[in-house]
Amino acid sequence: MTRSLSVFKRLLVGEPFTSERQRALELSKRYAIPLLAVNPISSLAYAPEQVFLIMAAAGTAAYAYSVWTGLAVAVVMLTVIASYRYTVQAYPGGGGDYRVVTANFGQRAGMLAAAALLLDYILTVAVSVAAAVTNLAVVLPGLREWREWVCVLVIVLLTAFNLRGGRIPGRIAAGVALLFVLCMTAVVLVGLFRIAAGDELHPLSADFSSVGEAAEWTGAALFLLCARAFAAGSVAVTGVETFTTRVRFFRPPRGRNAAAAITVVGAVTVALFVGIIMLAYLVGAQASSDPSRQLAGIPEDYVQIPLVGQLAGAVFDSVAVLMWPIMLATAGVLTLAANTAFVGFPQLATVFAQDSLLPRQLHKRGDRLVYSNGIIILAVSAAVLVVAFGGVTFRLIGLYIVGVFLSMVLGHAAMMRHWGRVLAVERDPSRRGRARRARRTASAAALMCAAVLGIVAVTDYRRGGWIAVVIIGLGYALMWYVSRHYTAVASETELPPGKPRLPSRNHAIVLASSVNRPLMRMLAYAKATRPDSVTALTVNVDAAASRALLAEWERRKIGVPLTVVDSPYREITGPIVDYVKALRRDAPRDVVTVYLPEFVVGHWWQRRRFSRNYFPWSTNLLHNQTTKAIRRQLRYEPGVMICIVPWILGENMEPPPLRRVRR
């Protein structure tokens, strides 16, 4: 069975890599930088649509506020980008919001930022894959009925690819990202040019009327709706923070080059975001989270396609030759964004494991020199969320915003404190001026991100925002517990100052039930360790068997004293444990080593897993039960060591002869 699992593992992930190959598998700048740009750019595939999905609740007339809402989101994006420019220059070593928050607010606040970042990566996979499948269904309509399961299949394929240590070449990543940017630019520019030329662009959704009208809404309700749309559209900010975690991939001066990259990518993202919002408003495109309830006059077989697909169809008159590349490029860039999370999440979990916030097993590389445990945890978590929310991007956005903006609020607030400390010691006028500008920018970014987070917390708690809060709370509690545990273990196991105190003596106890070859092996091994005393111990549960054992012991002239302890209630484990405890009470500084026999079956069909599933009466249940009971009782006794001496059934090896050890 074990061999079959090993063969399956080799087929799944491939042959293991040697440690020398690790350097060859590290991310290069050519691979890292295009994938860093993929995260913020990919948000264009779903962020503008979120504004229209929220506005649809008030009717078609409410779309007039979409442009202003988009401009408000653009202001948030520009402010956050400006603040992160200063962050990467102040912390050129990378580490992102977690390092910044920990350095300025301490470990407790750092754990909260860490929990938010982990949720951010999980939702990056879930949202990106869900949006990719939705856009891919425009050219492959058969995927719509199985949307969530297709999302799970994509996650499984990405998991297998990353478990095998796969790396997407930088040229492919850069090509897909550039193709998507060119497609979005072409849609926006050609669409605006055709509108300016007098052409009438008519997306399919413009033919339907909305059930509600903005005029029927009160001013306060409409303001609250615009605030919700503003918060939902602010998901376009996601991905910018990834530059702060990968500053080391840029050439020196790393901080300045990373800031330049953030500026270029951020400017492109903001321009295209505003362009898509304006074009969608001008052509009358509609997007509804529930078309059957919010749109009137739709046919029974009506299927709403994503906003990007609607605009591409209206601009290029639904020409398949032009539509296919646009939708495939959109799905491709979203898939790359999900794959980036599969690279970043395990590495981030490794950082947390190094800081004793997560189990240190996450720091272990697998056979293919990747952090397999982190990849599997990410895949399972993302798949559960995708299935729970039906693979609908709109339902996942509320969770996504909470995780992203919580870490951003903490990160920008930490930068405010950082620049305040700089101003307290800096005397150079030019540097003080720069620090003041950076602190003002960080303050504005923190306030704007806090506003978005507050709006989502108030308005979207029913749409899943509370789930994000629960997940972050559980993550924080887990990190607190793990950190506390590792701190306690380190304190307990730390060597005291001065020369360590060694045990005074070592007493070996060998359990004997009959004189046989396994017993001879245990005695030989016990003597080979050169203890201060060796004692064979047996329990008197049957007077005739005990007398026979003593007679055989004398006849064999074994040379090791045999101690017999009485058991009035015919119990074996209790008297042995009491005997060991008595030795410890008499000499607390001494060590007691108990040698226990263990019979090991020689064939795979006799092993525990196979026997438990198919033959529960087989070999494993006929042996080692007393050994297990004694081991369970003694493992918590201080100063007691347990030594298991295996005997492989079917083995013909003679035990080594006993001989006296000169002291």
pLDDT at 61: 72
The parent domain of residue 448 ranges over: 37-485
Q: What is the dihedral of CA 523, 528, 534, 536, to 10 degrees?
A: -10
Angle at CA of residue 522, ends 518 and 527, nearest 5°: 150
Considering the domain architecture, whether residues 526 and 437 belong to the same structural domain is answered as no
Q: Is residue 389 part of a domain?
A: yes
Structure tokens at 131: 């949006």
- The CATH number that applies at residue 152 is 1.20.1740.10
Q: What is the largest CA-CA distance in the chain?
A: 114
CA nearest to 44, candidates 68, 82, 74, 79: 74
Considering the domain architecture, whether residues 79 and 179 belong to the same structural domain is answered as yes
Q: Is residue 571 part of a domain?
A: yes
Give the number of other Cβ atoms within 10 Å of residue 176's Cβ: 25
Q: What is the DSSP string of 292-333?
A: HHHEES--TT--PPPHHHHHHHHHTTT-HHHHHHHHHHHHHH
Contacts of 454 (CB under 8 A, 6+ apart): none
Q: Based on C-alpha coordinates, what's the Rg of the chain?
A: 34
Q: What is the DSSP string of 220-267?
A: HHHHHHHHHHHHHHGGGGTTTTHHHH-GGGSPSSHHHHHHHHHHHHHH
Which residues pair with residue 507 across a beta bridge?
533, 592
What pairing do the DSSP bridges indicate for beta strands 591-600 and 506-511? parallel
CA–CA distances in Å: residue 51 to residues 56, 124, 274, 454, 600:
9, 19, 11, 17, 66
Considering the domain architecture, whether residues 360 and 419 belong to the same structural domain is answered as yes
Considering the domain architecture, whether residues 477 and 533 belong to the same structural domain is answered as no
In whole angstroms, give the CA distance from residue 566 to residue 287. 83
Q: What is the dihedral of CA 523, 525, 528, 529, to 10 degrees?
A: -110
Q: Is residue 23 part of a domain?
A: no
What pairing do the DSSP bridges indicate for beta strands 640-648 and 591-600? parallel
Q: How many domains does the chain have?
A: 2
Q: Is residue 573 part of a domain?
A: yes
Structure tokens at 360: 């240190």
Q: Is residue 233 part of a domain?
A: yes
CB environment 237-274: b (16+ within 10 A), e (fewer): bbbbbbbbbbbebbeeebbebbbebbeebbebbbebbb
- The CATH number that applies at residue 613 is 3.40.50
In 3-state terms, what secondary structure has residue 564?
strand
Considering the domain architecture, whether residues 457 and 512 belong to the same structural domain is answered as no
In whole angstroms, give the CA distance from residue 244 to residue 258. 8
Phi, psi at 386, each rounded to 5°: -65, -45
CB environment 457-472: b (16+ within 10 A), e (fewer): bebbeebbbebbbebb
In whole angstroms, give the CA distance from residue 557 to residue 389. 75
Q: What is the DSSP string of 331-355?
A: HHHHHHHHHHHHHHHHHHHHHHHHT
Burial class (CB in 10 A: 0-12, 13-18, 19+), 49: buried
Q: Is residue 22 part of a domain?
A: no
In whole angstroms, give the CA distance from residue 469 to residue 268. 32
Q: What is the pLDDT of residues 282-332, one digit of tens each?
A: 988 888 777 777 676 677 777 788 899 989 988 988 777 788 899 999 999
Considering the domain architecture, whether residues 526 and 422 belong to the same structural domain is answered as no
Is residue 49 within 8 A of residue 351, CB to CB? The reply is no
Considering the domain architecture, whether residues 221 and 309 belong to the same structural domain is answered as yes
pLDDT at 466: 84
Of 456, 485, 514, the domain-final residue:
485
pLDDT at 602: 57
Considering the domain architecture, whether residues 512 and 477 belong to the same structural domain is answered as no
Considering the domain architecture, whether residues 424 and 510 belong to the same structural domain is answered as no
CA atoms 27, 31, 33, 36: torsion sign: negative
Q: What is the DSSP string of 596-651?
A: EEEEE-SSGGGSHHHHHHH-TTSHHHHSSHHHHHHHHHHTTSTTEEEEEEEEETT-
In whole angstroms, give the CA distance from residue 474 to residue 487. 20
Helices 170-196 and 320-354, packing angle to 10 deg? 130
Considering the domain architecture, whether residues 126 and 177 belong to the same structural domain is answered as yes
In whole angstroms, give the CA distance from residue 94 to residue 112. 18
CA–CA distances in Å: residue 238 to residues 43, 45, 94, 135, 410:
7, 12, 18, 19, 15
Amino acid at 139: V
Q: Is residue 28 part of a domain?
A: no
Q: What is the pLDDT of residues 629-663, one digit of tens each?
A: 888 888 888 888 999 888 877 655 555 555 554 54
In 3-state terms, what secondary structure has residue 591?
strand
Considering the domain architecture, whether residues 361 and 391 belong to the same structural domain is answered as yes
User: Could you identify the residue written with the tokens 């917390």?
Assistant: 457
pLDDT means per 10 residues in the chain (663 residues)? 49 50 46 73 92 79 84 94 91 81 92 93 94 90 88 94 76 86 93 90 75 61 84 87 76 80 90 94 83 71 84 84 88 92 86 89 67 90 93 88 92 94 90 93 95 86 79 94 90 73 82 87 90 90 87 88 86 87 86 87 52 44 72 86 83 54 48
CA nearest to 276, candidates 407, 336, 186: 186
CA nearest to 82, candidates 450, 455, 446: 446
Considering the domain architecture, whether residues 472 and 573 belong to the same structural domain is answered as no
Phi, psi at 514, each rounded to 5°: -160, 160
Q: Is residue 292 part of a domain?
A: yes
Structure tokens at 130: 């869900």
Contacts of 61 (CB under 8 A, 6+ apart): 210, 213, 214, 215
